[in-house]
Structure formats: structure tokens, C-alpha cells
Amino acid sequence: KLTTVEEFEAATDRLLETGAKVGADSWQLRVKNQTPHCKFGEQGICCRICSMGPCRITPKAPRGICGCDAHGIVGRNYLKFTAGGAATHSDHGREICHTLYESAADGNYKVKDPDKLIRIAKEWGIETEGKDIYELAHEVAETGLMEYGKPFGTQRFLKRAPQTTQDIWEKEEIAPRAIDREVATSLHMSHMGCSSLPEALVRQSLRAGLSDGWGGSMMGTEFSDVLFGTPKPIDTEANLGVMVEENVNIVVHGHDPSLSEMICEYADDPEMIAYAKEMGAKGITVSGVCCTSNEVAMRRGIPMAGNFLQQENVVLTGACEAIVVDVQCIFPALGPLSKCFHTKFITTSPIAQMPDSEFIRFNSKTAGENAKAIVKAAIDNFKNRKPELVHIPDMKQKATVGYSVEAIVKVLDGVTNTQVDETGTTKPLLECITSGVIRGAVAMVGCNNPKIRPDTAHIELMKKCIANDIIIIASGCSAQAAAKAGLMDKSAKDLCGAGLKRVCELADIPPVLHMGSCVDISRMMILAAELAKDSGLKISQLPVVGCAPEWMSEKAVSIGNYVVSTGIDTFLGVDPYVSGSSEMAELLTGGIRDWVEAAYTVETDIEKLVDLMIERIEEKREALGI
């Protein structure tokens, strides 16, 4: 039985009552204070990139002081937004490269998947013979780091794409060069007095997005697998009920697995567990929020307490000893909120420093000591709980997660009855698609956003797709929405059409496959590339679409840009502040199709959005005659 959104909301309301008792603020209250939003901002027609402004476009004032019109202002804002997202994902990827560089046989970080490291080294033309695995790790990591600033050439991983895709990127001049260069060029182009031509600004947005998806994010994913293991199917649980009242609860939140992996390691240490018992708890429970949760769920089966808009809820349970964060998507609200409870809000990265937090600087050289200190601080805090404030909603679902590309290929080997003898490829999946047993696939990604009733769009879209025999691959907060609802439980096969249900039974998979965090959308790109190569089709011909119905962050726009640039139509439930320019809106929803064979659809009515996606998948099938 699925958990309904009404049930989530009732549980949240109960937690907000506790919050009210202690005078806590909440996003639900802040949304009210911020509504209605500024119309200029919403339409993207406010410019404050130079101090002659800020300028706002109105019918009476159609140009800013410098003469820039709405199209230029919206375009520059869109490019800056993308650059923010590309920088963020790629800097996360860079941190992982550094962690790989620091790995050592006797160090804090080890190489858990040496085969993958060797595969990547060979792909990059690095000599592997006669080298110790850590020597190779250093060399590969250093080569990866060079991708950020190399003066010539394009990203190494672009070669993973089908030749037709690479040709498009070359021809359209959007093949990404050094990652940092694409971010810097974006900021240069969107400086006062540079580009105000929508075509140029969108082209650079696509290029910066590609430097993220096929550059920084892909390195983040691949090297996380090398360090922490390539995910395989594993059972876990999701929603606030994974927190355990009798235990010390540590919640990890953010994105970089270098921190969360180490916390999990130390929370599992018998010495730490014994200490927790000494302090009156029965044990230690680590659970997660946001993408770092996806990382440790995929590799260790660590339960997922919730997604983006549930981050305050974990503190409101009154049973969270420490919420430990690294970077991205962390509400500054957690500082003051924690002060209303006994919770320790521990920041660990110089990139994300916040008021009212305890800063324990984490780095790869001292990771072990840092993690130990954090776990100990959480245990020491157990005694400070206020029992009258403790309430953990009795709400959780089972989920099977861990579907990396390698895992998907493996579980689908041999699901078809026909003559598919090439195991270890995507051919069995293609066979399911061409025969129509599966109609297509939707990559469901992205955040929650209070503009959309949280999780509803994710869940309703997925339910309708699977009922129509469309398989879902999910990542980020979308994946967690699915897991909380029960859509990643294998029994969710009963909600599928007959074809997809049969595939779920034969392969023993849920109909919604958890592919990881947001940097792991690069896994989805690799899967699409493999499908295209194995079928001899172009990526844009595959009955596959992308969807971010509740997106909110700059990272999501960067992702959208690389997904579209890879030839995959992308459906958004929230407008990326471009409605103030007809030229920008037309370009993104239509014009770019002439460049990259895919475009955006923006539709805030979620029912319509899902119908449009299904329609697009069926159109693609029809064009292929399948």
C-alpha cells in the first residue's frame, strides 16, 4: 500500500505543532510571508548586474538604462543561473577528485572498485600496466583535475556519447572545453555590456550545462564509485519513521559522500556503539536527507529520512542528536531551528558555513578524526533530549535502491524470451522497448518546491507512467519521493501495466529504479548513450524523456541544459524565470530543437505535463515504427 501525500502532510502538521510549542519557524510560514512573489523576478525581467540599475522592464520602460531589452535581461539571468548550477555540481566533482587523489592503502579513503578505476584509466589512455592501484588512482585523479582548467581541447568523457551526438556538439559549438572555463565564460558573457543576444546566451547555457553533465558531474559519479563502490541493488527504508527513538540519531544532509561515508563508518564502529549504550541509548542510527542520503542508501542501504522539504522535519522530531551537513540544498533555517531543540547543527565545509552552527572542518587528511568527533558529539548530546518534544512519525516504506548502469544491465540480462544473446549490454532493455512490453522510459529528477504541493507531482507522474508501461529511472529528491511513497518497493509492480509488471517480475526489480543523487544524472546520460549505441539509433530517437516537475535549484537548470543538449526532451513543472521574454521562451521550448534535436516543455499543470510526456514517448515510437 502506498503512503499518500495526505498522510505525509498529516505527519508534518503534527510535527509543526511541536514546532509551534517551542517557537520554531518553518518553511511553511516563510512561504506565506514571501507570497506573492515579485512579478519582475518571476518573469526574469529584473536586472541588477551593474550599479546604474537595478532596472525593471515594464511596458513604459521596455529597456534598461544601458538599453538592454527583456530578451537580453532574461537571457543573461538564465545563463548566470546555469553557471551557478554547473559550478556547484562540478566543484563537488572536483572535491571527489581530490579525495581520490588522497586515497591510500593506509589512508582514510581506499579504492573500493579498482576495476572501474582501471577501466577509466584505459579509456583516458593512461598506462595501467605494472602500476600499484594507488599510483594509478593519483594519476587518474590528477588527470581529472586537469579537466577543470586545461587550456585546449574538450571534455574527455564526451567520447562516451554516440558519434552522432558528438557531431552535433561540435557543429553547434557547444562541446564543453575546460569546466572552469565554461563557468567563467558564462559569467563573462553575462557581464554588463557583453552578450544580450538570446541565441548566444542559450548556446553558452547549453555548453556550460554539458561541462557539468559530461564533465564535473560525471567525474563526481565515476570517482565516487571508484572510492566507495559501484552501487548494486540493496534494500533500505524511507521516510521519517526510519529514525529510532531509543537510538542516537545522526542525520547526514548535503551531497558529498566523502563526509557521509566516513560518518557511517564510525557510527558502525563497535567502540562507538558501546559508548552510545553507556550514554543510555540502545544504539546509533544514521539516516539521510537530500542527495548525500541517496549516496549512502545506494551503497550501504542507509535509510532515507526524507527529501529537500523534509529537512526541517527531522529536527522537529525532537529525536535528532545531530544533523551533519556538507554542501548544497541546506536550509540556513536549520541553525535557528536546532536552537529550539537539543539538536546539534554541524557544518563541515568551508563552502557552506552558516550562523548558529558548530563548524567541524572536515577534510580528507583528517576525515577519520573528524567523523569520530562528530559521532561522539552526537552521542554526548543524547542525554540533552527533551522527552516531551520527542515524536517520530510512524511512517516508512521499504525500498530497493542501487541501480547504477552496471546494475541495470545486469538485472535485465535475460528478461526477454527472444534471441538476445548479447548479455552485458542494454540489448535486453532495448528488446523490451521495441517489442512494446515497455513503452519507454522517463528520467524523473529534481527537487521539491513549495510552488507545487511537495512530492505530489513526482508521485502522481510516476504512478501514471508505470500504469502506462513506462519505466522510471529516478534520482535526487524525486527518487526519495518515490521511495517514501512506496514506489521503490518491488510490490509496486502491481501498479504497472501488464508489460512493465512482467518485466519487474522477471528481473525482480521495482518499476521505479533509484539511480542515485543529482550528480548521478550523468549515469542516465551514459545509459541513454549505451541504448543509442546498442540500437544504432540517435539518442533523440529513443522513446525516453526527462522530467523535473518540482525543481528549484540552479543545479537543476544546469542539468536540464545538458539533458536537452544530449538529445532528450525535458519537461519542467516550474518555469525557469523566462516567461518575460517571448524570444527566450520560444528558443528553449522550440528553437534549440534545430540545434540539439530536443527542447523543453514547461507546463505547471501536472496532469497535462504527464500527458504531454506520454504523448511524446508515443510519438517517438511511431516515428520508429515500433
Residue 250 DSSP SS3: strand
Q: Which of ligand SF4, ligand BF8, none sits in contact with 447, Cβ below 5 to 8 A by type?
A: ligand BF8
- State in angstroms the smallest separation of the CB of 556 from ligand SF4: 25
**DSSP run (H or E) holding 397:** strand 397-401
Among 86, 408, 485, 518, binds ligand BF8 (CB under 6 A): 518
Q: Are 573 and 446 in contact (CB under 8 A)?
A: no
> 22 vs 194, which CB is nearer to ligand SF4?
194
Burial of 424 (0-12, 13-18, 19+ CB in 10 A): exposed
**CB-nearer residue toward ligand SF4: 29 or 65:** 65
We find the least distance from the C-beta atom of residue 214 to ligand SF4, in angstroms, to be: 32
- Does 523 bind ligand BF8 (CB under 6 A)? Our answer is no
Angle, helix 217-228 to helix 257-267, in steps of 10 degrees = 20
Q: Which residue in 272, 249, 247, 227 sits closest to 373, CA to CA?
A: 272
Alpha-carbon span 112 to 105, nearest angstrom: 11
Report the nearest approach of ligand BF8 to the CB of residue 456 (Å). Answer: 16
Q: Which does 10 bind (CB under 5 to 8 A by kind): ligand BF8, ligand SF4, none?
A: none
In the complex, least distance from residue 47 CB atom to ligand SF4, rounded to whole angstroms: 3
Nearer to ligand BF8, 233 or 446 (CB): 446
518 interface partner picked from ligand SF4, ligand BF8, none, CB below 5 to 8 A per type: ligand BF8
Say if CB 309 and CB 288 are below 8 A apart: no
Binding residues for ligand SF4 (CB under 6 A):
47-50, 52-55, 64-66, 68, 73, 192
Q: Which does 55 bind (CB under 5 to 8 A by kind): ligand BF8, ligand SF4, none?
A: ligand SF4
Binds 52: which of ligand SF4, ligand BF8, none (CB < 5-8 Å by kind) = ligand SF4
Give the one residue of 477, 492, 539, 547 binding ligand BF8; rule: CB under 6 A.
477
* Nearest CB to ligand SF4, comparing residues 46 and 599: 46
**Amino acid, res. 388:** E
Binder to ligand BF8 among 227, 290, 529, 531 (CB under 6 A)? Answer: 290
The C-alpha cell that represents 396 in the structure block: 516508512
Tell me how far the alpha carbon of residue 102 is from its chain's centroid.
25
How far apart, in whole angstroms, are the C-alpha atoms of residue 556 and residue 566? 15
Per CB under 6 A, 291 contacts ligand BF8: yes
**Which DSSP category does 69 fall into?**
B
Q: Return the DSSP state at 247.
A: S
- Hey, what amino acid is at 346? I
Cell for 170? 561540435
Q: For the CB of residue 90, give the shortest distance to ligand BF8 in the complex, in Å.
A: 13
Look at residues 547, 543, 583 and name the one whose alpha carbon lies nearest to residue 564: 547
573's contact among ligand BF8, ligand SF4, none, with CB below 5 to 8 A by partner kind, is none
The binding track of 424-463 with respect to ligand BF8, each residue x by CB under 6 A or -, is ----------------------xx----------------
Length of the chain: 626
Q: Which one among 344, 514, 555, 621 touches ligand BF8, defined by CB under 6 A?
A: 555
Site for ligand BF8 in 244-263 (CB under 6 A): 255
- Rounded least distance, CB 547 to ligand BF8, Å: 13
Preceding omega of 350 cis (within 30 degrees of 0): no
And the C-alpha cell for 548?
523535473
Residue 346 near ligand BF8 by CB under 6 A: no
For residue 453, the minimal CB distance to ligand BF8 (Å) is 16
- Residue 36: is the preceding peptide bond cis (ω within 30°)? yes
Pairing relationship of beta strands 284-289 and 304-306 according to DSSP bridges: parallel
Distance of alpha carbon 233 from alpha carbon 402, whole angstroms = 4
Question: Smallest distance, Å, CB 574 to ligand BF8?
Answer: 11
Cell of 462: 510516476
Q: Which stretch, 37-45, 106-114, 362-370, 553-561, contacts ligand BF8 (CB under 6 A)? A: 553-561
State the binding partner of 157 from ligand BF8, ligand SF4, none, CB within 5 to 8 A by kind. Answer: none
- Contact between 148 and 522 (Cβ < 8 Å): no
Positions in the binding site for ligand BF8 (CB under 6 A): 255, 290-291, 308, 329, 446-447, 476-477, 517-518, 553, 555-556
